[in-house]
Each structure stands twice: as C-alpha cells, then as structure tokens.
Structure 1
Amino acid sequence: MPNVEDWISNRKAKPIFAEIRRRGVVSKFDLLEWSGLTSSTLTRMLEELATNGWIAESGFGESSGGRRPLLYRLKQDRGYAFGLDISRSATRLVLCDLQLEKLDSASWPMTERMTPEMLIKEVVQAVRRMAAKRGIEPDRLIGIGIGAVGPLDRTTGVMLNPLYFPAEGWHQVNLVQKLESELGIPAMLDNGANTALLAEYWAGAPQQYRHLLYVRAGVGLRSAMMSNGQLVYGAVDMEGSVGHMIIQTDGPPHPERPHVFGCLESFVSIPVLEKQAAARLKQGRRSVLADMVESPDEIDYQHLLRALSADDRLATELFTQAATYFGIGLSNLLNILHPEKVILGGPLITTNELFYQISTQVALKNTLYYPTYPVTFTRGKLSDDALAVGAAAMIVDRLTS
C-alpha cells in the first residue's frame, strides 16, 4: 500500500501543487514570484505535475503590459478521498475529489446495534459501492480520513475511551488498522473538531485567513486551532479541552468529572439546558414547555427550540444565560490565542440566532485590544458535512506533506 506522501514523488513539486490548490487558479508569473525558483526550474515542475495529471492549463490571465500569463488549476479528478465522521448520534461517509467537492455520501444512525465491527462492515461496503458507481479505479483512491469523537491517539489511529456511545465496544478501537486492512488504501485518524476546521478552512478563503479558531457547541464543546495554515496539536488530544475551562470555581460539577467545578461545559451544552429547563418547571416556573410534555424530565432540545421560537420567557432566559457563559469562554480563547477568524458550529449555533448573537457580543466586549483587534466571527458553511469533508481534506493535505 503506497503512502499518501509518495503520490507526488518530486519533493520540489509539492509546494507548487499546494499553492495552486490553495489559490484555485494561479498564473505562472505569480508562481514564479511566490516560489523564488528560476523560470526553467518552475517550468520543469509545472510540466511534471501536468504530465502526471495533477494540474492543467486554464487559459491566459490579464496582461500587465507583456504577454498574457498562462494560468494553471488543480485537476480535481486526478484523485479521490473518502471522509468519515464518527459521532455519538450518527456516522457520515463522503466521497470527495481533490477540490473537496462532495460527490456522494451515506450515513448511519449510531444505535445500540452499531458496534465498531458493524460500522466498519457498513463503511467498507459503502466505499466500494461509491467507487464502483463512479468508475473510480483503485489507483485514483488516495485514502480515507476519519474524524472521530475523542479522546483518541491520532499517531496510532486508535479511539481510546469515548463516552456515551449507544453500542458496546467503543474502547481502544484501532480504526486505521481495521480500515486499511479491509480497503487496501491509507487511512488517517484525527478528532472531529480538527477535521471540521480543515473543511471550513478550505471552504472559505485559505489565501485570506491563516489563524483560525473553530468551536462546536452541542452535546458538548469541541474546539480546534489553526496557525499559519497548520492545525495546532498538543501533547495529548485537545478536542474537548475548551469544555473543561474553569470559569467559576464554585459552579456546578462537570457532567463527566464531578470533582471539578465550574467548567464551561457545566454551563453550556444541550444536556445542561434540558436539565435546567426540567428543574425550573419542577420549581413551578410558568412556560409553554409544560404543555409539550407529561413530565419535566421528558423535555428535549427540540422542545426548547419550539419554546424559544414562541418567545417563551423561560426558554429565552436559559438560552441567554448559556450564550453569555459561552461568550465568556470565547473571550478567554481570544485573549490567549488571538485568531483572525472564529468559526462557530454545532446545534447551539446553527439552530437559533439568539445564542449566536449574544455569545459573540459578549466575547467581543471582554476581549483585550477590542476594537483594534479585528477578529471576525462566522458560522460554519458546511453544517453536517464539515467533519466528514474535513476528514477527506486531511488525506488530500497529506499529498504535499
């Protein structure tokens, strides 16, 4: 099985290919200026990449006084990558070309029957079916990337001990080894926040922003950071670290670490909102929520959204409080990391405007150097596909590592 890094054999050609991919369409003149290579060396690199099918000529650019410059673009059908998003509630598989255009997809609910063995069987069948459907030969399949719930060890390709999977067996699962053995193509593993950030980076303007922060708010809090176009890693998996940020030392205990008090995730998550709503109803608070369920303990997130859309005072209060705490957590991240752009995703962000507006306003208000520090906030563009598409991007990125 060839390594992904060996697909482009000439090491000097890799940065040229990476820059063409980053810019989309670029002139030979701009590449010459950017690379610092001699004209003859650059011409040789471009010819080699074109001969091997990685890039193609794309007409001529505007003239600046002399001959019109030749343009080059990525040849997106030269290779294909699969991306797999393994989450607690659902797993999603996508097939992408080199431009990260989604060509096909499949998904599975993570029920009590979806053990690792069952899921891998389903994924392998879907990969073969998608490749056959599009007539993709094995020599054009670069590999499969996996974005999974942590904690995990990306160097060994093992999911360690993630919590709250409905099925048994999701501990010490060597996903990379299993998928490589079944499919015969390279596999890579990383946490879902990192792969989501990769997807949003390539879906946005990779030539414009180099320092990005991604935070996903839903059942829990997950984050990732990119500096100078590269993901930032620590000594251990950092995906869930943002949720363990202490913001009130005498606050409630963390759901998974009862000896730790006042974590951000103790104030901001879907389960916390559901529990708070149930507790308020038991205390006698008036709310349209009481008409939606027979017992307060039956309240779920969809009930909360319906109450919020009805301008229910209790639901508005709960979302406002959670958004305020989330904004405080964001401001701490901004003051430490100073990203140019913050991408927010997950159900708490995408399903209601109130949470997004309050949290970003609170974050800015508490940020050092604001307003001279011009951070940009945005919602993620790819929604449910972000983690899977980013997993495919991880494989494509490896071409030029």
Structure 2
Amino acid sequence: MTLTVSVLGATGSIGRSTADLLDQHRDRFRVGAVAGGRDAQALARVARELNAEFAAIADPDAGPALREALSGSGIANGAGPSAVIEAATRDADLVVAAVSGAAGLAPTCAAIRLGRTVALANKESLVCAGDAFMRDAKTFGARILPMDSEHNALAQAIGEGKVDDIARMTITASGGPFRTAPRERIAAATAAEAAAHPTWSMGMKINIDSASLMNKGLELIEAHHLFAIEAERLDVVVHPQSIVHGLVVWRDGAVTAGLAMPDMRVPIAHCLGLGERLSIARGRPLDLVATGSLTFERPDEERFPCLRIAKAALAAGGAQPTVMNAANEIAVAAFIAGRIGFYDIAALVERACEHFAARFPTAPADVEEALSIDAEVRGWSTAALAA
C-alpha cells in the first residue's frame, strides 16, 4: 500500500533527511505536500525531486520566486501562513512536523485537529502549548509519533511497558562544542563557534540551543507531555559519543535503552515505517567494538544555565515554558546577529520568565492563546534587548 506523506519544514535538516528516505522508498510513498520557510529555490527542488502535489512557502514575499521555480512542473503552490496550513491539512496518512521553532505550532495543530498521524520533530509545539496540544490529539483521535532522536529512542525503549513502572527516564546530550570549555571561553564565544556542533548537522538555531543545553531543556518538557511523566522522573546526562539516545530505568532496576548511530534518518525511518522497519541506504550500522567506549557525565548547570532555567520552567508549569521558548528564540536570533553575548541568552530568558510569572500563571488553554502569549513575550524581549 502506498502511503501519502506531507513534510512541513522540508528544507531544514530533518526535512532533507526525510526527503532522502522518501526518495529511497518511492514504491512505498507519495508526497502530498511540502512546506518551507523562506528559501523558494530549495523548496522547489525538494518538491520536484519528490514529485509533490503541493508546495507552500511561509514567507509571502517568496511566493513569486516559488511560482517561477515550479513553472511547468504541474505542482500547485502557495505562499504565506495560510498556504502552510493548507499543506498541513491536505489529505495525508502521515504529516512530518519538522518546522523549527514556534512557527511550527499552528500548522502542526491544524493537522492534529484533523486526526492525522503526526511524526513530531517540532518540539516547540509541546513546549509552547503541551497541555492543549495533547488534549487536542486525544479529542480528535490524532496519533503522535516522536521523531526527535531522544524521544523516538525512549518510545522504542518503553515498548509495551507501562509509564507507571518507570523509575526514571533519561535523555542524552552530546555536550555541544563547549562541553569541556571554561566559563570564560564560553562567554567569549561567537555564533559560528556555538553552532559548530561536534556530532549532529542541524540548523543554526538548533545548534546554538544545543551549545547552551537549552535544547535538552526543551526536550525534557517535550518528554513530560509525550509520555505523561512527571518532571521528577526525567533526567539529562551528557554522552559525548551520541550513541545512546535515551534510557528507561524501570522500578525493578532493569534498564532499556535506544542506541543508534547519530543519524536522524534512523528515527525518521521508524516513524515513516508506521510499525515496519525501513532500510537506510548509505547508513552506517552501529559497531560497538569500533566505538570502543561509551561515557556519561552530569551536565554542569553553572556553565550551562539554560538547562537549569528550562527545568525550573517545567517545574513551575503554567505558561512558563511558553514564555521561556519565546524569549529564547529572540535571544538566540540576537546572538546570531552579534548583538549580545552567549550568556546574555540565558540572562534574557530568565528575566522574561520572572517578568511574566504573575501575568501568565496558567497554561495556555488552546493554541491560539499560546501564540498570543508567544507574541507578547517576543515583543517584550525585543524591547528589553533594545533598552
């Protein structure tokens, strides 16, 4: 049976890996829609390569360029947020939600409200509106497949087990480019240095979140919602080899873990297979003898305060994760632009969380409220940086 797949975030690192697998297994899949952010040429290439039926670009100004790049292909296309929503809601057996940041929230939730099966790589959907998102998934009968490597590994490690039997659930972090660097060296880091991830090839923003360990904080919040598990049973360890992606410690002391080479095609293939295993051409199998050793260490929350801030936001609940994510996106963009230093990211995020704690004491009731809070925090954060 041929499955119809739509890919939101088709031009990003996860989107490109997804496209590679769809291309390898053309006999199993057809592509209903692809969506991207601003790069019309890259989106058109993906749409043509996959013979997509529809292509949507989020930036309205890029619409003419997309139309020109797709001229003669027969691929329908559109531009702007409404076009991305159309891509998310076209008929599909599986929607890959890989848009980076809060921008992915609205289209992902639109797919959820149609009861789609969603392979979720947009962690911000759960960070910004986790309660509402999971409530919608249950109400509309949507199925959520974790596509982040850590959460996919955890889902496989849990198997048919019960969450009530889990003593601790652990996600791993590579430690990023500054794992062993002193605080003074980290404070002076440039955006290029922060984005030089030692293991994974990801987008600029995600790489910097990995360098600050904010990415692990976001993933803790994601795991809390995906697996309905309390913060007290969630943990992070630094694992430089990036072979073990997630561990589940059971109440009887047994441990199950998800291991694989650091290749996003592994969790993507698991989601695309919908219960069947897909082969991965050009993939490197895991050889533990060649790897030699696997090491683990506790994260240093003094040198990496973003992880501490994210844990506090998860523990506080309410809209604190929503606030934290919005402030972080503004701060990271300012760091990339060279307007603030690396540790200024954590400083702004912490200020925002403190400023909005009383203003938004409860979790967003729905996606629309989450986006409203996100917009207000972004405005405040931008003004705070300019002051």
What TM-score, normalized to structure 1?
A: 0.28
Q: Per residue, is there more helix in 1 or in 2? A: 2
Q: Which structure has more RCO (C-alpha within 8 Å, separation ≥ 6)? A: 1
**TM-score, reference length from structure 2:** 0.28
Name whichever structure is richer in strand by fraction: 1
